[in-house]
């Protein structure tokens, strides 16, 4: 180790010692100079002043009591419905949203940092095939909806795709291999989310290798900082974009760039808005959009007191039924304000099995949770918004997440939901409905009205597609 590198190493060691984390350098003497230099760069990139507080917060989060009635109240909803007042209300919102789309003022923001590990799939979740007949990938569904919307309104909507360090190269390759799914390459902007270190149950940083910390993506809450850090916000402003349609990769039913939602958000001059779907029951593992201490936010299902989770209103519906489906509108000036002011969203705890080194430098591959990952959630930004809108939608039309290999929220349930939507549209058109799967591609129709308008005599299913 040369003198310059030794001095730098000792300076980093002193900074780590000040927060009780100097143990991560215990193998520094084993490292070649180039590996040590990369390790020091990784350590120097950490916010060492903030890190102890983050670790203390996330360790304390494991035992917090469930939120009760004195803290949580239902939020005001734009309810889904077919009554005349609902139709008139949504028509006005659609007109406003379509105007913004025609003016090129709305961008799509796809959060796609996850891997398909839980699905038994080796690769980015966005590559996972989910089309009931075509095996269309999650990436294809989302990108084709952006393309179809761009064609419908005569203005190319930009698509920003947030990946992670683990899946960035393969995600970019997926778009390249598919010819960007018909989009102009200049229409697509890739950015990479940040990373946070994992710690053991005592708050000590873990090593993945002798010269590398065990790191993990910082959660979808890191997406806002990533937009600013990557230059995506600057790119939006150059394009004249002032509204962001945020959605996550695992939901193939996401109605990307939905003009009605965009319009409700715009008419309210909201800074951040949310779509919600009625929870299936009080046990569903989905966060609830509610008023928390007087501000709109999302409370995790595990943090909601069981009595509140099960409470019913006068019509027999769950009182706290507004299930978060991870679709938001964000005003660009709002994101800019938060990120310029040093945004610090709360950290959340995730107990995970994290491969690491033991104290002797031997690899450990646990088969059960041994570590705590630090994550931030984008919905925590709702508490900073002065105005917000919460729109209720029908889950059968807009929410079929792919999270688990089997059971609820699995590929099987997502394919069934996509096929069910296609069959409903076929029924509305008076077509014979197949007993097996059916599928409507986004380039054929984005909604039932467009499906009916686009049908020709040669269209009989069970697959409806367009190039």
Write the pLDDT tens digit of every residue in 253-308.
999 999 999 999 999 999 999 999 999 999 898 999 999 888 999 998 888 888 88
Model pLDDT, residue 435: 86
User: Looking at residue 362, what is its pLDDT?
Assistant: 95
Confidence of residue 67 (pLDDT cuts 50, 70, 90): low
CB 214 within 8 A of CB 208: yes
pLDDT at 65 over 60: no
Q: Is the overall model pTM greater than 0.75, yes or no?
A: yes
**Predicted confidence band of residue 2 (pLDDT cuts 50, 70, 90):** confident
What's the pLDDT at 57?
87
C-alpha triplet 162, 167, 168: angle, nearest 5°: 55
Q: How many CA atoms lie within 13 A of 91 on its CB side?
A: 7
State the average pLDDT over residues 134-160. Answer: 98
Q: Give the per-residue pLDDT at 5.
A: 86
Q: Rg (Cα) of the chain, in Å, rounded?
A: 24
Tens of pLDDT along 374-421?
999 999 999 999 999 999 999 999 999 999 999 999 999 999 999 999
> What per-residue confidence (pLDDT) applies to 386?
94
Q: Tokens 């980093």 correspond to what residue?
A: 12
Indicate the average pLDDT of the chain: 93
Distances (CA, A) of 371 to 16, 109, 362, 420: 20, 31, 16, 40
Q: Sorting pLDDT into bands at 50, 70 and 90, what band is 72?
A: confident
* pLDDT the model gives residue 246: 98
| Residue found under tokens 């705590």 | 372
State the average pLDDT over residues 188-217. 95
pLDDT of 55 > 70? The answer is: yes
The pLDDT tens digits for 311-359 are: 998 888 999 999 999 999 999 999 999 999 877 888 888 899 999 999 9
Q: State residue 305's pLDDT score.
A: 86
pLDDT at 68: 64
The whole-angstrom separation of Cα 287 and Cα 144 is 28
Are the CB atoms for 243 and 330 separated by under 8 Å? yes
Residue closest to 101 by CA, chosen among 185, 147, 182, 157: 157
Token representation of residue 463: 């697959």
Spatial distance between the Cα atoms of 265 and 160, rounded to a whole number of angstroms: 20
Q: How far apart are CA 194 and CA 214, in angstroms?
A: 14
């Amino acid at each position: 180790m040369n003198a310059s590198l030794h001095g730098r190493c000792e300076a980093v060691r002193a900074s780590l010692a000040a927060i009780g984390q100097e143990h991560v350098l215990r193998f520094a003497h084993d490292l070649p100079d180039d590996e040590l230099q990369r390790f020091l760069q990784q350590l120097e990139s950490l916010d060492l002043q903030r890190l102890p507080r983050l670790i203390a917060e996330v360790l304390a989060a494991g035992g917090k009591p469930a939120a009760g009635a004195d803290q949580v109240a239902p939020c005001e909803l734009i309810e889904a419905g077919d009554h005349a007042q609902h139709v008139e209300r949504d028509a006005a919102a659609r007109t406003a949203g379509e105007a913004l789309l025609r003016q090129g003022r709305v961008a799509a923001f796809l959060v796609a940092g996850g891997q398909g590990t839980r699905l038994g799939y080796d690769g980015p979740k966005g590559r996972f095939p989910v089309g009931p007949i075509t095996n269309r990938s999650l990436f294809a569904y989302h990108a084709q909806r952006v393309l179809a919307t761009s064609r419908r309104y005569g203005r190319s909507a930009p698509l920003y795709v947030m990946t992670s360090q683990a899946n960035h190269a393969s995600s970019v390759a997926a778009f390249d291999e598919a010819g960007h799914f018909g989009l102009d390459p200049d229409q697509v902007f890739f950015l990479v989310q940040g990373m946070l270190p994992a710690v053991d149950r005592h708050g000590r940083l873990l090593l993945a290798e002798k010269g590398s910390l065990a790191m993990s993506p910082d959660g979808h809450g890191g997406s806002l900082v990533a937009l600013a850090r990557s230059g995506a916000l600057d790119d939006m402003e150059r394009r004249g974009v002032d509204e962001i349609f945020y959605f996550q990769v695992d939901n193939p039913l996401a109605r990307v760039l939905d003009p009605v939602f965009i319009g409700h958000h715009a008419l309210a001059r909201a800074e951040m808005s949310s779509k919600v779907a009625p929870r299936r029951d009080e046990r569903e593992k989905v966060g609830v959009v509610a008023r928390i201490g007087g501000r709109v936010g999302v409370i995790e299902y595990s943090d909601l007191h069981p009595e509140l989770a099960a409470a019913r209103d006068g019509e027999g519906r769950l009182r706290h039924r507004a299930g978060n489906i991870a679709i938001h509108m964000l005003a660009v000036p709002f994101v800019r304000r938060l990120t310029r002011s040093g945004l610090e969203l709360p950290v959340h705890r995730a107990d995970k099995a994290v491969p690491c080194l033991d104290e002797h430098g031997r690899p450990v591959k646990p088969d059960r949770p041994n570590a705590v990952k630090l994550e931030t959630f984008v919905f925590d930004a709702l508490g900073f918004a002065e105005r917000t809108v919460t729109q209720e939608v029908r889950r059968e039309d807009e929410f079929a997440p792919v999270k688990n290999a089997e059971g609820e929220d699995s590929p099987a349930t997502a394919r069934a939901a996509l096929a069910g939507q296609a069959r409903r549209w076929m029924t509305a058109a008076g077509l014979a409905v197949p007993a097996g799967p059916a599928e409507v591609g986004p380039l054929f129709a984005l909604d039932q009205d467009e499906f009916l308008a686009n049908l020709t005599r040669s269209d009989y299913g069970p697959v409806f597609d367009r190039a």
